[in-house]
Structure 1
Amino acid sequence: MMDIRPISAPPGSSITFDQFMASLREPGSAAPIVSARRFGEALHIDLQTLAQQAHVHRNTLSRQPGAESVQRFLRDALRAIRAATDISGDVAQALFWYRNEPLSVFDYKTAEQLVSDGRTDDLLRYISSLEAGAAG
């Protein structure tokens, strides 16, 4: 399972989604943006892969971290991760699901692939149906 605990958290502890979000803030920036580098580290994704998922040039992540295309992708990913966390109650479990769980209703694509494909709203409707007990 992925280890997304902040460095100060003791082993075996979990963090809340709010703590996870706070850990993703772009360091040294007054702008309210998500750090692509920190997001990649939390999900164990290198920046090249993250750029491919966001459909931007790899240099965009480091040179223009506040670019709308980058931030929109990160926000969409976080929407899906938040919805999964709301169901599971565990950020680490939600991250594992986001990256790895093949979803049969989406031709066995993962949530990560669906967000990259621009299908976040479809994914959120699916997650909502799971929460309501309509699927799964």
Structure 2
Amino acid sequence: METLADLAHVQPDAISHAPESEPLQNYMRNAASVIAVLTEFSDLDIERAVTWFRHAPLTELGGATAEQYVSQGRTAAVHAYALNLIAGATG
């Protein structure tokens, strides 16, 4: 829960006491949208998509993970990167 709170830029108690908070909901919505792109347009199942999202360094964007970039508000860049990766244009 602490990691999620850090990524969403909320206090840890917000996860259980204020799950409707805008920063938490925005982070969750954006994270889910990236994972949805991966499962919809590639051959990744949900588990592999989540693993990629959390652990794969996105070298062309600077080396952080998709999870970290979404936390920084760079969801559009991650969407574009993922679609390029799926199309074979990067990676």
Gaps of 5+ in 2: none
Q: Percent identity?
A: 39
Match of 1:92 in 2: 47
1:58 maps to what in 2? 12
Taking structure 2 as the reference length, what is the TM-score of the superposition? 0.90
Query: What CA distance in whole angstroms lies between the structure 1 residues aligned with 2:3 and 2:90?
Result: 31
Q: Match of 2:64, as an amino acid? A: K
Residue of structure 2 equivalent to 1:109: 64
CA-CA distance at 1:60 after TM superposition: 1.1
1:72 to 26, 32, 40: 26
Unaligned runs of 5+ in 1: 1-46
1: CA distance, partners of 2:46 / 2:89? 23
Q: Which runs of 4+ in 1 moved over 3 A?
A: none
Which residue of structure 2 aligns with residue 40 of structure 1?
none
Higher helix share: 2
When normalised by structure 1's length, the TM-score is 0.62
Contact 1:51–1:57 at 8 Å: present in 2 too?
yes
> C-alpha displacement at 1:88, in angstroms?
2.7
Give the partner amino acid of 1:82. Answer: A
SS in 1 for 2:48: helix
